[in-house]
């Protein structure tokens, strides 16, 4: 039997106490990498108890001491970048070109950023005549992180770094399709000096997630996942009234005005649709292009996309890897058919690449990057999150009209504007209902700035100092200097 990816509880790897196993499949060739040992209820209880035991000592440490451990973890993550990036590629199917430069690095940056601010978290003081009050910023307690599969290490770090910097302890459940790097992160934390129990990992799917959501001794859930999962998590957390951060899906608009730098806009649209095979929540999948530049845009888009090599994710020249699973591939191919059947014009791609005779890649979950052109914002491909390399291009001619159309969605994660008219850029961005907007670029997510959605794309923010608000609570202490006196007289 293959060695299964374990839990990580109280500083040690250990198999789940249930006999339940799930398969971890390499999306590039369909082979089973290994199995996951799924956490039982007892394992989840043990992880929560471990995090609870570790909380007092960890939260009592000075911020500068907690920060030092996070900074050391960032250093180790960087030293092991190649090995961790290869695991990320095997688990997700994304190109090594991305994983080796972005995935592990962005995790390390989150540890560095929050490690750096751990020492400067502070409360406040109010003088009230001769009396005064002070407001302490305290950690929430035991937090649970539940991750999606598209950026496994980045998501684990984006949740663990602020949680731990603020003095919380954490149980992290990676997505069941990408289980391995969370355990590696837990080991790296221990190597960097993190006390046992401060960061635990449990493995499994929605059932294990639900146990965390319903657990009485967990104070907060931070989820990255689909809107539907966010709704279930919010409902499940209602009984225990947990704090929530929800990082959910999107169907984000990118608006390309006729006064933009067209080459740049084409690259932005490609990055905002085809990076990580399109499996990015903030992707700008509704690309509104001004009618005066439409022909030039489509021509360049096709020419530039044709240069992207689809293939073995471990090959450094590959730019489009495999989708996460067979069912995700089917979902994307279904949307291609839906797009065609609703009358959208398929400009290119959307089929499965055929590799050489006998190539194991033929068993992988690949779809060639695709673009549709349609006049109709009501097409399902223009309204629903596909989470694959499928761009929908829509024409517009009036600024006012395109703003209304861009906002006509239940989602509100992100948006982009390409124009060289800066007044227009600020004016349009001001009116876009999205938590993250880019002017003349797309999908840039520095750890220094908050990330999160409006409307049904989420609640709360990750990254930036703003994240501290979501991993701490305020304690107000009023101090009487003059005595109670006689309040009833």
DSSP helix/strand/coil, 258: coil
- Pick from 146, 270, 367, 432: which binds ligand NAD (CB under 6 A)? 146
Q: Which C-beta is closer to ligand NAD: that of 74 or that of 212?
A: 212
Question: Is residue 213 a contact residue for ligand NAD (CB under 6 A)?
Answer: yes
Q: b/e map of 184-221 (b: 16 or more CB within 10 Å)?
A: bbbbbbbebebbebbbbbbbbeeebbbbbbbbeebbbb
What 378-381 contacts at long range (C-beta under 8 Å, 24+ apart), as own/partner pairs, is: 379/339, 379/342, 379/343, 379/344, 380/335, 380/338, 380/339, 380/342, 381/335, 381/338, 381/339, 381/342, 381/344
User: Which residue, 59 or 325, is less far from ligand NAD as judged by CB?
Assistant: 325
275 binds ligand NAD (CB under 6 A): no
For ligand NAD, which is the closer residue by CB, 5 or 150?
A: 150
The answer to whether 337 is a known catalytic residue is: no
210 sits near ligand NAD (criterion: CB under 6 A): yes
Kindly state whether residue 229 participates in binding ligand NAD, applying the rule CB under 6 A.
yes
In the three-class reduction of DSSP (H, G, I as helix; E, B as strand; rest coil), residue 236 is classed as helix
Q: Is 23 noted as a catalytic residue in this protein?
A: no
| Shorter beta-carbon distance to ligand NAD: residue 150 or 219 | 150
Stretch that binds ligand NAD, among 148-156, 252-260, 308-316, 388-396 (CB under 6 A): 148-156
> Contact between 226 and ligand NAD (CB under 6 A)?
yes
By residue count, the chain amounts to 489
Task: Return the residues of window 356-395 that contact ligand NAD according to CB under 6 A.
Answer: 385, 387
Interatomic CA distance for residues 91 and 179, integer angstroms: 8
- List phi, psi (to 5°) of 392: -115, 120
Give the C-alpha separation, 260 to 132, whole Å.
55
| x-or-dash string of contact with ligand NAD, 170-209, rule CB under 6 A | ---x-xx----------------------------xx--x
CA-to-CA distance for 245 and 225, rounded, in angstroms? 11
Site for ligand NAD in 423-452 (CB under 6 A): none
448 in active site: no
The one among 6, 147, 339, 369 contacting ligand NAD by CB under 6 A: 147
Rule CB under 6 A: say whether 148 interacts with ligand NAD: yes
Q: How far is the CB of 233 from ligand NAD (least distance, A)?
A: 5
Q: How many residues bind ligand NAD (CB under 6 A)?
A: 30
Q: Supply the DSSP string of 326-367, one letter for each residue.
A: HHHHHHHHHHHHHHHHTTPEEEE--S----STT-GGGGS---
DSSP category for residue 448: T
How far apart are the C-alpha atoms of 457 and 209, rounded to whole Å?
A: 19
Closest CA to 192 of 56, 80, 46: 80
By CB under 6 A, tell whether 253 contacts ligand NAD.
no
Check residue 276 for interaction with ligand NAD (CB under 6 A). no
Question: Has 88 been annotated as catalytic?
Answer: no
Binding segment for ligand NAD (CB under 6 A), chosen from 67-75, 219-227, 297-305, 389-397, is 219-227
Q: Which of 281, 300, 329, 385 is catalytic?
A: 281
36 binds ligand NAD (CB under 6 A): no
| Binding flag, residue 107, ligand NAD (CB under 6 A) | no
- 474 half-sphere exposure, CB direction, 13 A CA radius: 11
Q: Does residue 249 touch ligand NAD according to CB under 6 A?
A: yes
By CB under 6 A, what part of segment 286-345 binds ligand NAD? none
Residues in contact with 102: Cβ distance below 8 Å, sequence separation at least 6, in sequence order: 154
- Residues in contact with ligand NAD by the rule CB under 6 A: 146-150, 173, 175-176, 205-206, 209-210, 213, 223-226, 229, 232-233, 247-250, 281, 385, 387, 413, 453, 458
Catalytic residues: 159, 247, 281, 462
């Amino acid at each position: 039997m293959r060695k299964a990816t374990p839990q990580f509880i109280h500083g040690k790897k250990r198999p789940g106490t249930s006999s339940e196993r799930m398969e971890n499949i390499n999306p590039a060739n369909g082979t089973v990498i290994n199995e996951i040992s799924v956490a039982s209820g007892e394992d989840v209880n043990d992880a929560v108890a471990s995090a609870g035991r570790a909380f007092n000592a960890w939260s009592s440490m000075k911020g500068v001491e907690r920060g030092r451990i996070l900074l050391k973890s960032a250093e180790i993550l960087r030293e092991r970048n190649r090995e961790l990036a290869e695991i990320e590629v095997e688990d997700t199917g994304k190109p090594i070109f991305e994983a080796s430069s972005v995935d592990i690095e962005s995790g390390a940056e989150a540890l560095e950023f929050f490690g750096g601010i751990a020492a400067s978290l502070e409360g406040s003081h109010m003088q009230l005549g001769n009396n005064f009050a002070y407001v302490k910023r305290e950690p929430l307690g035991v937090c649970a992180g539940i991750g999606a599969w598209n950026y496994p290490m980045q998501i684990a770090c984006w949740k663990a770094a602020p949680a731990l910097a603020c003095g919380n302890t954490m149980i992290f459940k990676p997505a069941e399709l990408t289980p391995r790097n969370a355990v590696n992160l837990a080991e790296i934390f221990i190597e960097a000096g993190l006390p046992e129990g401060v960061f635990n990992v449990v493995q499994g799917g929605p059932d294990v997630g639900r146990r965390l959501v319903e657990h009485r001794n967990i104070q907060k859930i931070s989820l990255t996942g689909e809107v539907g999962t966010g709704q279930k998590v919010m409902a499940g957390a209602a009984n225990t009234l947990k704090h929530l951060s929800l990082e959910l899906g999107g169907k984000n608009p990118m608006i390309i005005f006729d006064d933009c730098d067209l080459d740049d806009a084409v690259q932005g649209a490609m990055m905002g649709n085809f990076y990580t095979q399109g499996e990015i929540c903030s992707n700008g999948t509704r690309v509104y292009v001004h009618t005066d530049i439409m022909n030039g845009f489509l021509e360049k888009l096709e020419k530039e996309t044709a240069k992207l090599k689809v293939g073995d994710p471990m090959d450094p020249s590959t730019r489009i890897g495999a989708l996460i699973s067979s069912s995700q591939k089917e979902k994307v191919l279904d949307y291609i058919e839906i797009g065609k059947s609703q009358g959208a014009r398929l400009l290119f791609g959307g089929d499965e690449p055929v590799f050489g005779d006998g190539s194991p890649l033929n068993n992988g979950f690949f779809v060639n990057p695709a673009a549709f052109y349609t006049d109709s914002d009501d097409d399902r491909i223009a309204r629903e999150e596909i989470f694959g390399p499928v761009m929908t291009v829509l024409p517009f001619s009036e600024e006012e009209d395109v703003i209304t159309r861009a906002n006509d969605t239940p989602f509100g994660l992100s948006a982009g504007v390409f124009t060289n008219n800066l007044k227009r850029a600020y004016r349009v961005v001001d009116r876009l209902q999205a938590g993250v907007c880019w002017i003349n670029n797309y999908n840039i997510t520095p750890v220094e700035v908050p990330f999160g959605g409006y409307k049904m794309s989420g609640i709360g923010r990750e990254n930036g100092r703003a994240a501290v608000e979501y991993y701490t609570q305020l304690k107000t202490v009023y101090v009487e200097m003059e005595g109670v006196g006689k309040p009833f007289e």
